[in-house]
Amino acid sequence: MSFASRLRVVFRSKANQALDRMEDPREALDDSYEQQLKMLQKVRQGLAEVATAGKRLELQGQELGTRHRRLADQAEEALNQGRDDLARTALERRVLVETEVASLRDQYAALRTQQAQLQDNERRLAQRVAAFRTEKETMKATYAASRARVQANEAAANIGSEISNVGANLDRARDRVAQMQARAAATDDLIASGALNDATATPDADLDRQLSAGATQSAVDRQLQSMKDARSTNRGQASGGRGTEPDAWLTIGQSPN
């Protein structure tokens, strides 16, 4: 792979990563979940406010009920004392209290209805949020697994491409090595035969090589003849015990005394 191709692959990978971050569905799911939680929180705040208002109405109604009973007791006491005027005043105020209680009762009933509706809405919204959370986490896990699978497959594909390139380079290297070995062997043969002069060799080096080869052959012939003579005379000097001595190596290549 050329440098320009590798550069294009790097830029393409960076661009894909940027797009993945911009289009990551997990972030969108989390944002939607946060918005639903905020809606649920607002519903619960409204429910708490309605419940608080209803509690205030209850306390106000209890106070009016206490006053209503006290005015009845005061009217009764006024009659016992022969004070019809005071009894009338107490009863008039008691009627006004009854009017206030009737209005308060209507407001309280409306609040209770509104509270029941809000409780029902809160319960259904909480169920939807919980269901959405479960689905969100499932989708996120599925997306993460799929993304990991894609990355693994892409990595495997890149590894396969790299291995293919390495194999091609290795084949080329083997061919070059084989060619060089063949050339080295050929030049050795040419130099040995004298067809190719070795510029680094000493003058008349070819004669030295041939004489050395002849000397080697003569030494082999002498040793072979010596072994034959020893066998014929049963002396066994070719494989005698001298070879087992510690300094026997010093006599290798020397003629026996």
pLDDT digits (tens, 9 = 90+) for 92-122: 999 999 999 999 999 999 999 999 999 999 9
Same domain, 27 and 101: yes
Q: Is 167 helix (H, G, I), strand (E, B) or coil?
A: helix
Same domain, 165 and 222: no
Q: Kindly tell me if the per-residue pLDDT of 202 is higher than 70.
A: no
Amino acid identity, position 198: D
| Confidence band for 62, pLDDT divided at 50, 70 and 90 | very high
pTM above 0.85, yes or no: no
Residue 232 burial (10 A CB sphere; 0-12, 13-18, 19+): exposed
Q: Kindly tell me if the per-residue pLDDT of 195 is higher than 70.
A: no
Same domain, 155 and 42: yes
Contact 139, 29 (CB under 8 A): yes
Domain boundary among 188, 216, 243: 188
Answer whether residue 200 is part of any domain.
no
Same domain, 93 and 24: yes
Q: What's the pLDDT at 110?
A: 92
Same domain, 22 and 75: yes
Nearest of 222, 224, 154, 171 to residue 13 by alpha carbon: 154
> Residue 143 is part of which domain span?
3-188
* 44 vs 120: CA distance, rounded Å: 11
Average pLDDT over residues 123-145: 91
Q: Is 254 helix (H, G, I), strand (E, B) or coil?
A: coil
Nearest of 54, 163, 173, 188 to residue 109 by alpha carbon: 54
- Number of domains comprising the chain: 2
